[in-house]
């Protein structure tokens, strides 16, 4: 895992297992956590997201198992994004 990704996860209270490849998938990504993740003990709820030219967000999951790789989750509309996700790493 990239050193910057580890620091961002620690600021957000994350505990990603050793061996997980959790670095961002390109330029412009920031670390976010789903707001419901704290309510579910088994789900860390971390995602990489970046704002696209349209204003919507491209989202990639962060795996929670060794050997796992981030997976594209799709595009989330800009309306309501902040209701579901909070940024973990400061701008």
Query: What string of H, E and C letters represents the secondary structure of 3-27?
Result: HHHHHHHHHCCCCCCCCCCCCCCCC
Q: Indicate whether 78 pLDDT > 60.
A: yes
What per-residue confidence (pLDDT) applies to 19?
55
Sign of dihedral through CA atoms 38, 14, 50, 20? negative
Confidence of residue 6 (pLDDT cuts 50, 70, 90): low
- C-alpha distances in Å from residue 35, one per residue of 19, 21, 46: 25, 23, 10
What per-residue confidence (pLDDT) applies to 57?
96
User: What tens digit of pLDDT does each residue of 14-68 get?
Assistant: 555 555 556 777 888 888 888 888 776 677 788 889 999 999 999 998 877 767 7
Structure tokens at 90: 């400061």
What per-residue confidence (pLDDT) applies to 1?
44
- C-alpha distances in Å from residue 2, one per residue of 9, 44, 90: 11, 18, 17
């Amino acid at each position: 895992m990239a050193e910057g990704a580890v620091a961002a996860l620690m600021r957000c209270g994350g505990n990603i297992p050793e061996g997980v490849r959790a670095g961002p998938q390109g330029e412009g990504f920031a670390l976010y956590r789903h707001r419901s993740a704290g309510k579910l003990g088994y789900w860390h709820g971390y995602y990489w997201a970046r704002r696209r030219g349209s204003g919507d967000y491209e989202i990639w999951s962060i795996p929670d198992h060794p050997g796992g790789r981030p997976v594209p989750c799709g595009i989330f509309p800009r309306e309501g994004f902040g209701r579901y996700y909070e940024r973990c790493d400061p701008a």
